[in-house]
Structure 1
Amino acid sequence: MESLLTISLFLSSISTGYALSCVHCRVEEENFCTGQEKRCPTWGDFVCASTSTLTIMEGFTRKTFSRSCEMRSSCGIAGSIGYQKGKIKTSTTCCHADNCIPSTPVLPTENMQRVGLTCRSCTALDSKWCYTDETMECTGEEKRCILQSTTLSGSKSGTTTVRGCATKNLCDIGSQTHNFGDVQMRTDITCTSGAISLHHFVLLFFPVLLVVKLI
């Protein structure tokens, strides 16, 4: 009887547009944080999430931990981005009750086995774009080419952009916006499979067609 009542209350909360309340916070070099409780949006399937991220860039290492509302599709995802001057590893865990505390995320392990994919690689500060002729060979589960731009605003501000190799699950999540209270973060992601683009195909094919016509 009690289980039927629980199910009934759950279905009722869905029909009335109920949304979870989750803690929002973000810290550096820590594995836990506390902050303001906020309601998640009612237009999506949101849950409470914790995310750990390790960023390595040109020998500099930074760890961040955050809690916020997150789409259920992001739960349980651990992925990475590799580029010539460093690495980004991230992992997200979730729970499904008001102001619940998700388990501590575990970052993915290193895998240096080559996968036969080559991507362009670059980094840029204070810019949402970077491009270079330099390339890198992808390894492990990083089987997509990625361009990721992360912009912070609020008590901390700045933009960091990387281009390199990424795991498919990070590409599938796509671009996101998060509000951690005093810090807002926007992440824009563009991924490709590494196959030749239509633009490059036209550039390569047109000279060949022109030569054929001249002959």
Structure 2
Amino acid sequence: MGALLGLGVLAALLGTGGAISCYNCTSSDGYNCTTNEATCSATVNSCITIARDEKQGDEDKERTVYEKKCNSDDRLCNQFYGLTAGTYRLRWNSTCCRADRCNVPEITLLPSSGLPNGLQCRSCFARGSDVCVPSEVVNCTGLQTRCIQFAATAATGFEDLRVAFVGCATRSLCELGAVALFASQRPAVVKTNVCSRAGVAMGGLPLLCLGGLLFWALRS
């Protein structure tokens, strides 16, 4: 009886103690990367598939990048994030699953909506710096109905992790998404993460962004 009980306990431990495995790859040419696998750490509870499109400057061509990897932050699961800040544009889709090598299915990046939705935010973007002074007004488009003000700094030697931006964002990006996307590295520390409803395009400045200008003026 004791031997059977011991075997049962051992089986239970073996059943719950193993880390999951996920496909692990990055590709700018579709999903042709499901042959690489990674055994996830103990903190990981899901596999994630991501499609993202980032633009900086006057680029017109869509450059979609696909990722499959282990995921330990549920804020990134089954989400769409959108951001317009300065000359930076982001669209980001994801899906998660919780089993070995389950992140096989493809996902489709939501189409970009270039149609203004009647809202505006002050706007700027800086990578490698935790300071960004908004100097222009940007027209929000599609699902971007919030003005976001975000800044993350980093320890010496990790300057490339610093980022600051003010602009139009989807509600999902405001609700902790910016922290997960732009400050997920351990040396990065969030300094500012504030959102408000975007202002109606009538030539006035949204209250949040006026506050943001005052915030940075006081810091300098």
**TM-score category of the 2 structures, normalised to the smaller one:** 0.5 to 0.7
Give the C-alpha shift of residue 93 in structure 1: 0.8
Q: Which residues in structure 2 correspond to 1:133-144 (within 5 Å)?
A: 133-144=135-146
Residues 94-149 of structure 1 deviation map (CA, whole Å, 9 limit, x = unaligned): 11212322422321212233333321211223213312221112111001112456
TM-score relative to the length of structure 1? 0.64
Q: Which residues in structure 2 correspond to 1:180-199 (within 5 Å)?
A: 190-193=193-196, 194=198, 196-197=207-208
Q: Which residues in structure 2 correspond to 1:25-44 (within 5 Å)?
A: 25=24, 27-32=26-31, 33=33, 34-41=36-43
Q: Which residues in structure 2 correspond to 1:1-215 (within 5 Å)?
A: 21-23=20-22, 25=24, 27-32=26-31, 33=33, 34-41=36-43, 46-60=45-59, 62-66=63-67, 67-148=69-150, 158-159=160-161, 160-174=163-177, 175-176=179-180, 190-193=193-196, 194=198, 196-197=207-208, 200=211
Residues 34-87 of structure 1 deviation map (CA, whole Å, 9 limit, x = unaligned): 353213417xxx321111211111134654333221434532212211234241
What amino acid maps onto 1:93 in structure 2? T
Instruction: Decide whether aligned partners of structure 1 residues 127 and 84 sit closer, same or farther in structure 2, where only a CA change above 3 A counts.
Output: closer
Runs (5+) with no aligned partner, structure 1:
1-11, 204-215
Q: 1:63 & 1:71 partners in 2: Cα distance?
A: 22
Residues 155-193 of structure 1 deviation map (CA, whole Å, 9 limit, x = unaligned): x983454431111112223312657xxxx8969572411
Contact 2:53 2:92 in 1 (8 A): yes
Q: 1:140 & 1:19 partners in 2: Cα distance?
A: 43
Instruction: Decide whether aligned partners of structure 1 residues 198 and 87 sit closer, same or farther in structure 2, where only a CA change above 3 A counts.
Output: closer
Give the C-alpha shift of residue 21 in structure 1: 1.8
Considering only aligned residues, what root-mean-square deviation do their CA atoms show, in Å?
Answer: 3.9
Q: 1:29 & 1:96 partners in 2: Cα distance?
A: 25
What amino acid maps onto 2:28 in structure 1? E
Q: 1:51 & 1:198 partners in 2: Cα distance?
A: 31
Q: 1:53 & 1:100 partners in 2: Cα distance?
A: 20
Q: 2:104 & 2:151 partners in 1: Cα distance?
A: 27
Count of aligned residue pairs for this structure pair: 179
Structure 1 stretches of 4+ with a deviation exceeding 6 A read: none
Report the equivalent of 2:202.
none
Q: 2:209 & 2:126 partners in 1: Cα distance?
A: 26
114-123 or 136-145, which deviates more: 114-123
Q: Which has the higher strand share?
A: 1
